[in-house]
Amino acid sequence: MKRYLGKKQRWTVLLIMILIVVSGFSVFAAKPDKKAPTAPADVRASTVTDTKVQLAWNASSDNVGVESYDIYKDNRLVGSSKTTTYETNGLTAETTYKFFIKAKDLSGNISKSSNIVTVTTKSLSAAGTTPAGALDTADTGTAAVTGENTVRTSDTDQTGGTDTDTQTDQAAGNGGPADSGQAGSGTGGSNTSTEANPSAGAGSTDPNQSGGTGQEPAAEPVKPVGPNPAVVAMDTGTNRVVGYYAAWSSYSGYTPDKIDTAKVEYINYAFANIGSDYRITLGYPDIDPANFARLNALKKSNPGLKTLISVGGWTWSGRFSDAALTESSRNTFADSCVEFMVKYGFDGVDIDWEYPVGGGMAGNGKRPEDKQNFTLLMQKIRERLNARGEADGRHYLLTFAGAATDSFVNNTELNKLSQYVDFANIMTYDIHGAWDSYTDFNAPLYQNNDVVPHYKWSIDLAVNSWLNAGFPGRQLVMGIPFYGYLYNAAVNSNNGLYQSYSGSASISYANIVGNYLSNPQFVRYYHEQSEVPWLFNGSTFISYDDEQSIGAKVQFIKNKGLGGAMIWELSQDADGVLLNSLYGNIK
């Protein structure tokens, strides 16, 4: 006997089938595209003048489609293109530049780097536009060494065209080119060399060339009218001294004019806030304008001094995740950074996002996508800074501050971030503090062999974590605290170290000097493995840094080949005792 489903039963079965089908599609749709495009090929310079290079390349292929191409000049992102051509302007005559391209697909995947093309701009006396291969009899033959191969930087062939040499120098992975050598500038016209093929005549010379060109002397070059060509090379300084100036320190009388700028090369002004519209704004409207005026006055008497506006910090990082979330929000944030910087006379921007993905204050916006979005945000700021730099004929700095923890390393793309920043400040302090149950060191340089009742960590381990993640040592500036932590009612055992206590707070070095170092009740101890001092009087334990520990930290910076030292923060050593020690050791 057949049984038929009733109307209600049929609708139930139909609904179940629909849900199964929709769920099936959702499963398949949820799989993200992780396949990167192929690398752009045959990057070449189609046109070269004294201030301009026109690039062209063969298109990349991708399973979901290529959205755009990122253009890098001397390992630095300078722009993007929706097509397979790009023109860069504002270059300096008779100067060698290296270009490579990366493709980006609709899912945000980035290709490996293309071949590198090395281009030497023309001299002013030969400033006419020269398509590659066209007649140009103003060239003279010179050679320069790039990497391990010799490349002609200005060598006219028999037809008088621009000569193109090739050499082996394949860019590695998603990072910049493996070769960091610089080709020398030519003496005449333009040169391009693509670095991918070891069999294509590297190091050849033209037997028809001698010391001169055989041509009539060139006319006196006409000086260009308008702004100077942009100086956009990334900061490559070593042994930097970076000092954070906390805006609120002016309330207690430590105004910016009291900073010893003979010993500080970069001043990071902390902090600017982020508005609900994702634009940066004054953090302390009542004192910021006066402080900015004093900073700019310092630069007039010390032209080598650079100032950066630091954005966010512990208290004001709540909106970073939203600001970095979309292309539109990133554009808004980056534009506001440049506008703020120019309006108030800063030389760059320092991003203090505490922290992407996790950590920071309760209530901060955070999401897993922060890891990739932080990189995209920094890339966007770099693009905007470079565009402004091209117009102003100068380079604007971009830096960020990051935590000395494995979680920060895991929640960021340090190897990619290094492409967009001049350097980064690693906050190698607050390793232990008032949040712990036991007394310990604020900034131990090395991990010791002591048996302790809680976790161990050190500056050495934190720096190695960043380096192992692919962040270059020369771009890593190591933090040194000008403060410590005071612990009350610590158990009187082991000279107060690793003991329980009843309360703790940070304390400036100036306070330590004024009230504790000269107090005969306190004894100074020094940990020979961790390379840090502490004070103890039987109940009060103070962890801090002094001249001896700073000397050890500076030696560590030099041994590791790091980019310098960063200070948090300058007002905590108003008399300059630690600053003098730091500067005397690092320079």
Strands (DSSP E) found in 169-328 = 191-195, 240-246, 266-274, 280-281, 306-312
The pLDDT value recorded for residue 539 is: 98
The pLDDT value recorded for residue 151 is: 28
The pLDDT value recorded for residue 120 is: 85
Q: Which tens digits make up the pLDDT trace of 536-582?
A: 999 999 999 999 999 999 999 999 999 999 999 999 999 999 999 99
Q: Write down all domains in the chain, each with its CATH number in brackets.
A: 41-195 (2.60.40.10), 240-482+546-586 (3.20.20.80)
pLDDT of 11 over the 60 cut: no
The pLDDT value recorded for residue 400 is: 98
Q: Which of 183-187, 447-451, 456-460 has the lowest mean pLDDT?
A: 183-187
DSSP string over 107-137: T--BPPP--EEEEEPPPGGG-S-EETTS--T
pLDDT of 84 over the 80 cut: yes
> Is this structure's pTM higher than 0.85?
no
| pLDDT, greater one: 138 or 281 | 281
The pLDDT value recorded for residue 425 is: 98
Residue that has been written with the tokens 């333009």 in this structure: 190
Average pLDDT over residues 3-7: 47
Average pLDDT over residues 392-398: 96
Q: How many CB atoms lie within 10 A of CB 563?
A: 25
Q: Which tens digits make up the pLDDT trace of 21-47?
A: 444 444 444 456 778 889 999 899 888
Residue that has been written with the tokens 């100086």 in this structure: 231
Q: Which tens digits make up the pLDDT trace of 88-133?
A: 887 887 788 888 899 988 877 888 889 988 888 887 654 444 333 3
- Cβ contact 154:142 at 8 Å: yes
**CA–centroid distance for 184 within its chain:** 27
User: How would residue 16 be classed by pLDDT, with cut points 50, 70 and 90?
Assistant: low
| pLDDT, greater one: 129 or 11 | 11
The pLDDT value recorded for residue 82 is: 87
The pLDDT value recorded for residue 122 is: 82
Q: Which tens digits make up the pLDDT trace of 343-389?
A: 999 999 999 999 999 999 999 999 999 999 999 999 999 999 999 99
Work out the percent of the chain whose per-residue pLDDT is above 90.
62
pLDDT of 314 over the 80 cut: yes
pLDDT of 313 over the 50 cut: yes
Q: Taking all residues of the chain, what is their mean pLDDT, rounded to a whole number?
A: 81
The pLDDT value recorded for residue 185 is: 33
User: How would residue 519 be classed by pLDDT, with cut points 50, 70 and 90?
Assistant: very high
Nearest-angstrom CA–CA distance, 354 and 496: 31
Average pLDDT over residues 78-97: 84
The pLDDT value recorded for residue 173 is: 35
The pLDDT value recorded for residue 452 is: 96
- Cβ contact 75:112 at 8 Å: no
The pLDDT value recorded for residue 511 is: 98
The pLDDT value recorded for residue 31 is: 57
The pLDDT value recorded for residue 19 is: 54
Q: Which tens digits make up the pLDDT trace of 423-436?
A: 999 999 999 999 99
The pLDDT value recorded for residue 156 is: 30
pLDDT of 228 over the 70 cut: no
Average pLDDT over residues 240-249: 98
| pLDDT, greater one: 106 or 446 | 446
The pLDDT value recorded for residue 365 is: 96
Nearest to 398 by CA among 417, 373, 370: 417
Q: Which tens digits make up the pLDDT trace of 143-170?
A: 232 232 222 223 333 323 333 333 333 3
User: How far, in Å, are 175, 190, 427 from residue 273 at the CA level?
Assistant: 32, 47, 20
Per the residue annotation, which of 195, 354, 383, 413 is the catalytic one?
354
The pLDDT value recorded for residue 187 is: 31
The pLDDT value recorded for residue 368 is: 97
Phi, psi of 579 (to 5 degrees): -60, -40
The pLDDT value recorded for residue 153 is: 29
| pLDDT, greater one: 172 or 438 | 438
The pLDDT value recorded for residue 155 is: 30
Confirm whether 354 is a catalytic residue. yes
Q: Which of 199-213, 263-277, 443-457, 509-523 has the lowest mean pLDDT?
A: 199-213
The pLDDT value recorded for residue 51 is: 83
Q: Which of 198-202, 242-246, 349-353 has the lowest mean pLDDT?
A: 198-202
| pLDDT, greater one: 336 or 115 | 336
Nearest-angstrom CA–CA distance, 303 and 501: 49
The pLDDT value recorded for residue 340 is: 98
Cα radius of gyration (the chain): 29
The pLDDT value recorded for residue 517 is: 97
The pLDDT value recorded for residue 132 is: 37
